[in-house]
Amino acid sequence: MNTKFSFKMAGLALAITVASIGGAAAYSKYDVESYRPSMQVAAITPLSMQFFCAKNRNECRGGGSGQVTMTPDLMAMLKQVNVHVNRSIKPKVDKADVWTLNPSEGDCEDYVLSKRSMLMRHGVSAGSLRIAYTHTRRGEPHAVLVVRTSEGDYVLDNLTNSVKTVRASGYNIRSISNANPMNWSAG
């Protein structure tokens, strides 16, 4: 009986809180209709990323702006880096999931790390560069580099030389690094 009463009181408290927030929002200066609450769920940083960062600390820094301003020059740079790295690395499936920077052959994570490094060397904010896991159209696990810009998020992918928005890429992001690449959240 005591447990039922506790649950009822908790439900009543929740209902009162929700009702009072709605009323307060009606008098706020913010557009309530456009407000969409979001919840980020923490994800575990891939173990291979942790090993890579232990060996390459300067490649795993975050910081700077979490978003860059999209300009024609930035888009040209994104396209150039995507094509350059795609042509520089020969595709090869890792037997052991070891992430490597600028290898002669490698898998999707190696492409992502190489593109991220090159963009940082060209002045793109590390905080705007995100490593994301998704699945290919065939259902295979796949990593891509996501660049957060003022005009949306863009994907650099070793499966295409085109730079596309996340939406146009057709990918459903499963997990993604934050501005600090050692912190990840579920997509």
Q: What residue segments make up the domains of the chain, in order of their start? A: 2-34, 42-186
Cα R_g (the chain), whole angstroms = 21
The topology under which CATH files domain 42-186 is C8orf32 fold (3.10.620)
- pLDDT per residue, tens digit, the chain (187 aa), is 454 544 454 444 444 444 444 443 333 333 434 334 444 567 788 999 999 999 999 999 888 999 999 999 999 999 999 999 999 999 998 888 899 999 999 999 999 999 999 999 999 999 999 999 999 999 999 999 999 999 999 999 999 999 999 999 999 999 999 999 999 998 7
Provide the 10 A C-beta neighbour count for residue 184.
23
Phi, psi of 185, rounded to the nearest 5 degrees: -135, 160
Structure confidence by residue, pLDDT tens digits, 39-55 = 456 778 899 999 999 99
Give the Å distances, CA to CA, from 117 to 56, 109, 121, 125.
Answer: 11, 12, 6, 11
Give the Å distances, CA to CA, from 176 to 45, 63, 150, 156, 186.
Answer: 9, 16, 18, 14, 6
